[in-house]
Amino acid sequence: MAGRAPARLLVSGESELLGLAEEAARSAGELLLERAARGTEAEVRSKSTPTDLVSEADLASERAIRELLLERRPDDGFIGEEGSSEPGSSGLSWVVDPLDGTVNFLFGIPQWCVSVAVRDGEGTVAGAIYDPNRRELFSASRGGPARLAVDGAETILGGAGPSSGEATSRHLGHVDLASAMVATGLSYSAEVRAAQGRVLERVIPRVRDIRRFGSAALDLAWTALGRYDAYFERTVKQWDIAAGALVCERVGLSVLELPVHENLPWGILVGPPQLADELLELAGGP
């Protein structure tokens, strides 16, 4: 992974894919918002550990996205967090997290979203992250800028193209490690959490502060916007980061890999180039 590639003309195919990703994320997000308003989910079960939960809301959101994509692009592949998987024949696959931040959703904490991305053999072509609690839609395509749309008003992020508003990102200026607001996430595995705690013990004294809100996709989107200066997390899956990593790349951030160590699985680290390199030295090891 690397920083933003040189901008190129957004082809019509990318534009159509981006529009569909945005539509799918927004429609599923509105469905989830309605379910959240009704209260506690009736059916909740564990996945990998007792703390890794899935609800009927996750499944309903994934079904809704899958049905929309089947109707519009039946030949594309599909990979969903909750188990839906189809190889497709078009060379394109949709990578979907139908509810990123399930635990927050179940506890009534308004920090969750829907992430929808489409990729080809070279990587992510387009992606969208919708936060229905704030009406914020983050999106980007490989050939165009990253955008934030809120109730019809659109802002281009990171200066990658003409804007209908000014980007609010702090990344336009230098942020040093000591003044950096850094987001992270924790594994569902107790052993991995213990190792992550040792990394955090090393990082916390060196940065302004740490935030852990529980949605990897939103952490990436907020880093692109500048609400965070940097973000790192291990144990993330492709559906967590496919859309968000592209948004970060298109605003010019470095998207780096965290190497594997004992009890520290593969991960991702995002930030302005110099800050990302410094943070990688600090957080990349055991």
Element (H, E) at 182: strand 181-184
C-alpha closest to that of 95 among 197, 280, 245: 245
Q: 129 and 96 share a domain?
A: yes
C-alpha closest to that of 139 among 279, 249, 215: 249
Q: Which residue has the tokens 């901008």?
A: 7
Select the more confidently predicted residue: 152 or 132: 132
Domain of residue 273, residue span: 171-283
Q: Which residue has the tokens 């979203």?
A: 113
Confidence of residue 46 (pLDDT cuts 50, 70, 90): low
* Residue 221: exposure state from Cβ atoms within 10 A (0-12, 13-18, ≥19): buried
Global pTM value: 0.88
Structure tokens at 78: 């599909």
The verdict on residue 2 lying in a domain is no
Q: 137 and 175 share a domain?
A: no
What pLDDT shows up at residue 118?
98
Average pLDDT of the chain to the nearest whole number: 88
What pLDDT shows up at residue 85?
78
The residues, ordered by sequence, that sit 6+ positions from 213 with a Cβ below 8 Å of its Cβ are: 104, 111, 183, 219
Q: What is the pLDDT of residues 177-193, one digit of tens each?
A: 999 999 999 998 999 99
Q: What is the pLDDT of residues 55-94, one digit of tens each?
A: 788 899 999 999 999 999 999 999 998 776 788 999 999 9
The verdict on residue 166 lying in a domain is no
Q: 127 and 43 share a domain?
A: yes
Q: 17 and 148 share a domain?
A: yes
